[in-house]
Structure 1
């Protein structure tokens, strides 16, 4: 049985902003998807300990007041999410995350911030990123590559974009659709496919960096494009 016929572990974070080094988790979901079973999962709402900017609230709908009133301590959420992902990996599931570089890096930095053992220090997951996969198999297709765009292209239902659970499920569904359409992907072993995505993501991000560098008005953005995938290594003082 090919990997796309087996269960997948979907993962998505909604946050206070777009910098995984400094921004904080607000909502997060981990789901078990596929393999002929009903999709199940768990969602968390964290009190990030900082103000949630209006722009972020406009995307995911969570205000600072609501997070403070209802959200659980960030350290507890990070520990539980990391444990849930580690358990899934130990159980043989790959982690599926749209733009995995962002979500896994943010989870890593939150773990370090709160004294939680990071995911990559517990397990060595295989990761599937529908954005990286789609850019590889259909490189020259015009249009956007957001999760909403991919759901439209691969005919996946997404009723509540930027809800962590909806996005985690949709990322799994898109990944399944890509593998089902491009059979060379499903014939690859997960370890092989994970390794290939490291190289594909590096090439894709290098191309984006070069585009910014040569585009008037966007030159400064080039320095912010990182080539590592699925995790930007944490800087530690020697």
Structure 2
């Protein structure tokens, strides 16, 4: 019984069995076999040799029969497949082939749900930084030509995935002019569906960080959908939002990653996936440092304002804390004194009201439909109106 080597693609888990030893079909039809592989020049050369040296053709057939399976084995191993076992007998399973209309089909759903992180004031413990380079800006008609994913834990790079991608279409000159990726560079690189499983493994259950990352995620989602893959829930953070929060308008000519990189004197290349991932991480780290410095300054100012509170303000806060204690929300209360001496109160980061007990006394009342300011005569009236705040707290925290 014939012996077969079983090879497996570690990304897609597809398997193929390659026969060991002599291949009789290749012995008799070896030259035709290579002709079907598109080796036209070799086929012409074989025809010439057949006329001049007939005995060479016989030797070629023998070598073809002995080596055809070896060539198939070498081809798969060069594509990253691994030998997993040897088996006896049975038919040979050909590698999986995608539909000819792969880029026009969306049999899956891609990224089903996404949740954006809007506020970040310290480095996350674990996340991945994603960047893709594409043939254009349209996630439906354009394609990925390079992808990089850096995985970080406690601020340190722990894993990385990078690949140029064959888009199976000509790369427009304008795209090559931006990212420097040419048709020749991607000609022998894997197609997106050949590495999509590995991409899925890197992104699944991770917080995805990027610069204008929604652009990248649209391309990734479409690639998942075309391959009948989906991610149920994906959480992401856009470093561009952090940049706009920490670098005021006018401090740079624009908010492009290349411009921000120059602003921070970060020495990396631009418009290549690997370097853009590194740049995005460095920009995020420096913006968080700026934000932390600003928060520390604000904390010092806030402590000073609290120390300077008058008796009316202290009495009101004490009364509010007692009311919240009665409904089990005392520990969730936070407040800050604003520049105009108005005190802003929150429960679980949700505003419940404001009060001003200096100069002209005022109090803010909020319900589910309205926000209004009341002129009040004194702290006693403010304490009486706390019943409205309690009602709104219960509304906010309802099940």
Aligned: 1:172 with 2:304: no
Aligned pair partner of 1:132 in 241, 261, 264: 241
Q: Could you say what secondary structure the match of 1:181 adopts?
A: helix
More helix by share: 1
Q: Could you say what secondary structure the match of 2:234 adopts?
A: coil
Structure 1: runs of 5+ lacking an equivalent: 188-238
Larger radius of gyration: 2
Give the corresponding residue for 1:16: 135
- Residue 36 and residue 186 in structure 1: after superposition, are their counterparts in 2 closer, same or farther (change >3 A)? farther
- Aligned mates of 1:163, 1:57 — CA distance in 2: 11
TM-score when normalising by structure 1: 0.65
The offset of 1:43, in angstroms, is: 0.4
The offset of 1:19, in angstroms, is: 1.5
The offset of 1:123, in angstroms, is: 3.2
Aligned: 1:115 with 2:227: yes
- Residue 8 and residue 184 in structure 1: after superposition, are their counterparts in 2 closer, same or farther (change >3 A)? farther
Whether the aligned pair in 2 keeps the contact of 1:47 and 1:67 (CA below 8 Å) is yes
Whether the aligned pair in 2 keeps the contact of 1:180 and 1:186 (CA below 8 Å) is no
- Residue 58 and residue 35 in structure 1: after superposition, are their counterparts in 2 closer, same or farther (change >3 A)? same
- Aligned mates of 1:84, 1:186 — CA distance in 2: 33
- Aligned mates of 2:185, 2:140 — CA distance in 1: 24
- Residue 55 and residue 155 in structure 1: after superposition, are their counterparts in 2 closer, same or farther (change >3 A)? same
The offset of 1:39, in angstroms, is: 5.4
Give the corresponding residue for 2:271: 162
Whether the aligned pair in 2 keeps the contact of 1:28 and 1:164 (CA below 8 Å) is yes
Aligned pair partner of 1:35 in 116, 137, 154: 154
Aligned: 1:103 with 2:216: yes
Whether the aligned pair in 2 keeps the contact of 1:154 and 1:178 (CA below 8 Å) is no
The offset of 1:78, in angstroms, is: 2.8
Aligned: 1:67 with 2:67: no
The offset of 1:38, in angstroms, is: 4.4
Count, aligned residues: 175
- Aligned mates of 1:83, 1:154 — CA distance in 2: 32
Whether the aligned pair in 2 keeps the contact of 1:86 and 1:122 (CA below 8 Å) is no
TM-score when normalising by structure 2: 0.40
- Aligned mates of 1:34, 1:161 — CA distance in 2: 24
More strand by share: 2
The offset of 1:3, in angstroms, is: 4.6
The offset of 1:34, in angstroms, is: 5.8
- Aligned mates of 2:147, 2:130 — CA distance in 1: 8
